[in-house]
């Protein structure tokens, strides 16, 4: 049985997410950038995708007495 050829498209960004604008603001060694998440997802409309989201939140402070 032959395998079907599939092209993969992927992106990852780590930065500050703005829900209202659907953007991710991030910085690297070359400057500060804005990634348009809505535009990136729009290009995938109608395709089978996998989506993972991870957020860093402050840990709870434990009072050790």
pLDDT tens per residue across span 14-26: 999 999 999 999 9
Whole-angstrom Cα distance, residue 5 to residue 37?
Answer: 27
Give the model's confidence band at 1: pLDDT under 50 very low, under 70 low, under 90 confident, else very high.
low
Per-residue pLDDT at 58: 85
pLDDT per residue over 39-58, tens digit each? 999 999 999 999 999 998 88
Per-residue pLDDT at 3: 67
For 32-56, letters b (16+ CB in 10 Å) and e give eeebebeeeeeeeeeeeeeeeeeee
Average pLDDT over residues 29-37: 97
Phi, psi of 45 (to 5 degrees): -55, 130
Three-state SS letters, 27-45 = EECCEEEEEEHHHHHHCCC
């Amino acid at each position: 049985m032959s395998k079907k050829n599939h092209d993969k498209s992927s992106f990852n960004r780590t930065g500050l997410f703005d829900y209202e604008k659907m953007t991710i603001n991030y910085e690297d060694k070359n400057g500060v950038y804005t990634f348009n998440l809505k535009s990136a997802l729009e290009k995938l409309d109608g395709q089978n995708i996998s989506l993972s989201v991870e957020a860093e939140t402050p840990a709870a402070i434990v009072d050790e007495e």
